[in-house]
Structure 1
Amino acid sequence: MRSNTWRNLAVVCAAGLLAIPAAPPAAAATANPSITWLGVPAEGGFSEAKAINDRGQVVGDFVTRDGQHHAFLWQRGKVRDLGTLGGPSAMATAINDRGTVIGVSSIATPAPNPVAIAPIPAGPEPVNLAPSAPDPTRGFVWTPQTGMINLDLLDGHPLMPFAINADGTVIGGINTTTDGRHAKAFTWRHGTLRILPLPPGDIDGWANAINDAGTIAGGAAGPDGVTHPVIWKAGRPIRLGPAGATHGWVQSITDRGRMAGYSGSPQHTHAELWQPDGTPVDLGFGDNSRATVLNDTGTVGVQRDRTSIAWHRGRRTVLGYSLNAPDTLDDAGRFFGNIRPTPTSSRAVMWDGGRTVELGSLPDSAGSWANAVNGHGQVVGWSDDAGRGGTAVLWTVPSRRSGR
Structure 2
Amino acid sequence: MPNLLAVQRTGRVRPVGRGGLVRRVLAVLAAGVTLAATPLAPARAAPAATVLPPLPGGTFGVAFGIDDNGVVVGYAGNAAGQMHAVRWSADGRRVKDLGTLPGDVESVAYTVREDGTIVGMSAGPDEVEDAVKWTRYGAVRLPGLPGATDTRAYGINEHGTAVGISSTPAGVHRPVKWSPRGKVVELATLPGDPAGGVGGINDHGVSVGYSGTPGGVLTSLRWAADGRPTVLAPLPGDDSSHASWINNKGVAVGHSFVAGDQPLIRPLRWEADGTPTVLELPPGDTGGSSWAINDAGYSTGYTYGPGGQAHAVRWAPDGTVTKLGVLGAGAAEGYQINAQGDVAGYTTSGDGATLAALWKD
Task: Give the residue type in structure 2 aligned to 1:196.
Answer: E
Aligned partner of 1:360 in structure 2 is: 325
Q: In structure 1, how many angstroms separate the alpha carbons of the residues matched to 2:148 and 2:162?
A: 16
* Superimposed CA distance per residue, residues 79-133 of structure 1 (whole angstroms, 9 cap, x where no aligned partner): 110001222211112222222212121136x5xxxxxxxxxxxxxxxxxxxxxxx
The answer on 1:179 being equivalent to 2:179 is: no
Change (3 A) 1:294 1:138: same
Task: Give the residue type in structure 2 aligned to 1:293.
Answer: R
Residue of structure 2 aligned with 1:377, choices 333, 336, 341? 341
Aligned partner of 2:31 in structure 1 is: none
- Give the superposition deviation at 1:154: 5.1
Change (3 A) 1:200 1:93: closer
Q: In structure 2, how many angstroms separate the alpha carbons of the residues matched to 1:356 and 1:214?
A: 29
- Give the superposition deviation at 1:193: 1.9
Q: What CA RMSD, in Å, does the superposition of the two structures yield over aligned residues?
A: 4.6
Aligned partner of 1:61 in structure 2 is: 75
Residue of structure 1 aligned with 2:140, choices 131, 145, 149? 149
Residue of structure 2 aligned with 1:96, choices 97, 102, 113? 113
Change (3 A) 1:153 1:241: closer
Q: In structure 1, how many angstroms separate the alpha carbons of the residues matched to 2:56 and 2:339?
A: 28
Q: In structure 1, how many angstroms separate the alpha carbons of the residues matched to 2:257 and 2:287?
A: 25
Residue of structure 1 aligned with 2:249, choices 252, 256, 259? 256
Change (3 A) 1:214 1:63: same
- Give the superposition deviation at 1:215: 1.8
Change (3 A) 1:256 1:265: same
Task: Give the residue type in structure 1 aligned to 2:162.
Answer: V
1:219-230 map, 5 Å: 219-220=210-211, 228-230=219-221
Structure 2 regions of 5+ residues with no counterpart?
5-17, 22-35, 234-238
* Superimposed CA distance per residue, residues 232-288 of structure 1 (whole angstroms, 9 cap, x where no aligned partner): 33434244488xxxx766614332334567999979xxxxxxxxxxxxxxxxxxxx8
- Give the superposition deviation at 1:73: 0.3
- Give the superposition deviation at 1:162: 2.6
Task: Give the residue type in structure 2 aligned to 1:157.
Answer: A
Identity of aligned residues (%): 27
1:9-88 map, 5 Å: 28=42, 30-31=44-45, 33-41=47-55, 43-76=57-90, 77-85=93-101, 86-88=103-105
Q: In structure 1, how many angstroms separate the alpha carbons of the residues matched to 2:217 and 2:121?
A: 28
Q: Which has the higher strand share?
A: 1
Q: In structure 2, how many angstroms separate the alpha carbons of the residues matched to 1:26 and 1:261?
A: 20
Residue of structure 1 aligned with 2:356, choices 377, 383, 392? 392
Q: In structure 2, how many angstroms separate the alpha carbons of the residues matched to 1:169 and 1:248?
A: 28
- Give the superposition deviation at 1:381: 2.2
- Give the superposition deviation at 1:169: 0.9
- Give the superposition deviation at 1:24: 7.7
Asked if the contact 2:252–2:272 (Cα under 8 Å) also holds between the matched residues in 1, the reply is no
Q: What secondary structure is seen at the aligned counterpart in 1 of 2:340? A: coil
Q: In structure 2, how many angstroms separate the alpha carbons of the residues matched to 1:59 and 1:93?
A: 7
TM-score (normalizing by structure 1): 0.62
Asked if the contact 2:266–2:287 (Cα under 8 Å) also holds between the matched residues in 1, the reply is no
Change (3 A) 1:393 1:155: same
- Give the superposition deviation at 1:337: 4.1
Asked if the contact 2:54–2:60 (Cα under 8 Å) also holds between the matched residues in 1, the reply is no
Q: In structure 2, how many angstroms separate the alpha carbons of the residues matched to 1:345 and 1:227?
A: 23
Asked if the contact 1:256–1:296 (Cα under 8 Å) also holds between the matched residues in 2, the reply is yes
* Superimposed CA distance per residue, residues 7-35 of structure 1 (whole angstroms, 9 cap, x where no aligned partner): 4059xxxxxxxxxx9x9889657345244
Residue of structure 2 aligned with 1:235, choices 226, 237, 243? 226
Residue of structure 2 aligned with 1:137, choices 113, 129, 144? 129
- Give the superposition deviation at 1:151: 2.0
- Give the superposition deviation at 1:387: 3.4
Residue of structure 2 aligned with 1:188, choices 178, 192, 197? 178
The aligned length equals 320
Change (3 A) 1:203 1:387: closer
Q: What secondary structure is seen at the aligned counterpart in 1 of 2:248? A: coil
Change (3 A) 1:45 1:157: same
- Give the superposition deviation at 1:347: 4.8
- Give the superposition deviation at 1:155: 5.5
Q: In structure 2, how many angstroms separate the alpha carbons of the residues matched to 1:183 and 1:342?
A: 30
Asked if the contact 1:292–1:301 (Cα under 8 Å) also holds between the matched residues in 2, the reply is yes
Asked if the contact 1:207–1:216 (Cα under 8 Å) also holds between the matched residues in 2, the reply is no
Q: In structure 1, how many angstroms separate the alpha carbons of the residues matched to 2:252 and 2:40?
A: 26
Q: What secondary structure is seen at the aligned counterpart in 2 of 1:8? A: helix
Q: In structure 2, how many angstroms separate the alpha carbons of the residues matched to 1:334 and 1:47?
A: 25
